[in-house]
Amino acid sequence: MVGPSRLMTLLSCFELGIIDLLRDKPGMTAAELGEAVGANPAAVEQLLHLPVKEGFVARDAETGGYRLDAFGRIAPIRLRQVREIMDMVKVVMLRQMFYLTESVRSGSLVGLKELYDFDGNLYEAVGEHRDLRESWATMMDGVTTLTDPWFFRNIDIPRGARVLDLAGNTGLGAILTHQLSESSGLHVTTFDLPEKQEECLANFRSHGVAERSSFIGGDVFASVPAGFDVVLVKHFLDMFDKRDVVRILTNVYQALDVGGQVNILVPVYPDDITEASSAGVDIFPAYFLACTMGQGGPQQLSTYRKWLEECGFKVTKAIAQDLTAMPGALIAHGILSATKVA
């Protein structure tokens, strides 16, 4: 019940600049901090109770001065990542979740409609609303940075393969494929809605991969282009319910020749939901149902395996990250590789 207030109290200490001030000038009192950030010192003292209780910040009982405790020992880059996720929860989720029940009943994003007068999903809304875009994209870039190297270490792309990055947006996935895959001679094609083409090709040029990359415009729900050896499906399937996932995978199956493979990167729940490491179920259902899609949400690894098999694939790999070995991480991703067999 105190979850929302804990998040916002901690985030507000960052937003007000208190944490940065204490890093530069340890020992500042509530009165000094209040003057520096333009806030009532009594309010600063109230906000700092929580980080003091949690050991993030320490307070000297004699002087009343504060200094960073655990926050001072966390690497700045890691602290920035934590703040980015807190900001995403604030901007993309906090107010929107007020309408979770109405969103589930209607299968639509009531919060986006009420708060932004927007009909559609978050991925469309980020095009029009800068606050949503900046908060969400910053967080997603962080997720990609953390998970894609793991993905490319764990899949096998044959040398010289023709690779299709499904729903590849504006080319980041294709660029990462060139950067992170150890296979040589790859040609990577981003497949997404036609309106992404211009920005995608510009990204290819600015990253020096234009000659080994291309763009095809289309809609994964209509059909997937043929002529590729490997299809990548990253950060995508968790947006949909089973019916749509099966439609997408069926279109991939039909586009591949025998021997062609699909490699999927997706957040997964552990097969035993009661495991402590299922932290994903604390956030994803509300994230997808109330804030981003009005449907969808990750599945268990075994569920994705079953759905691949229902579409005709032979699953050759199904692995998941071990959340218990990833301190501070909220989300375990899974990789599923599958082949179209004769």
Contacts with a second copy by CB under 8 A lie at 1-9, 11-12, 15-16, 37-40, 42-44, 46-47, 49-50, 52-53, 55, 59, 82, 85-86, 89-90, 93-95, 97-98, 100-101, 104-105, 107, 241-242, 269, 273-275, 278-279, 281-290, 295, 297, 330
For residue 192, the minimal CB distance to a second copy (Å) is 25
For residue 164, the minimal CB distance to a second copy (Å) is 27
Q: Which residue has the tokens 């994903």?
A: 280
Between strands 187-192 and 261-269, the pairing is unpaired
CA–CA gap between residue 330 and residue 148 (Å, rounded): 16
DSSP codes, 53-87: HTTSEEE-TTT-EEEESHHHHS-HHHHHHHHHHHH
Nearer to a second copy, 39 or 201 (CB): 39
Nearer to a second copy, 42 or 226 (CB): 42
Nearer to a second copy, 98 or 116 (CB): 98
For residue 248, the minimal CB distance to a second copy (Å) is 15
Nearer to a second copy, 204 or 287 (CB): 287
For residue 289, the minimal CB distance to a second copy (Å) is 5
CA–CA gap between residue 187 and residue 209 (Å, rounded): 9
CA–CA gap between residue 81 and residue 200 (Å, rounded): 26
For residue 162, the minimal CB distance to a second copy (Å) is 34
Nearer to a second copy, 183 or 300 (CB): 300
For residue 140, the minimal CB distance to a second copy (Å) is 15
Nearer to a second copy, 260 or 294 (CB): 294
- Beta carbons of 284 and 267 less than 8 angstroms apart: yes
For residue 322, the minimal CB distance to a second copy (Å) is 17
Q: Which residues contact 160 (CB under 8 A, 6 or more apart)?
A: 183, 184, 185, 186
Nearer to a second copy, 82 or 146 (CB): 82
The residue count of the chain comes to 342
Nearer to a second copy, 26 or 41 (CB): 41
For residue 328, the minimal CB distance to a second copy (Å) is 10
CA–CA gap between residue 309 and residue 24 (Å, rounded): 56
87 torsion bin: left (phi>0), alpha (psi -120 to 50), beta (else):
alpha
CB atoms within 10 A of CB 24: 7
How far does Cα 286 stand from its chain's mean position? 14
How far does Cα 231 stand from its chain's mean position? 20
For residue 260, the minimal CB distance to a second copy (Å) is 29
Nearer to a second copy, 98 or 118 (CB): 98
Between strands 230-234 and 261-269, the pairing is parallel
CA angle 73, 78, 79 (to 5 degrees): 70
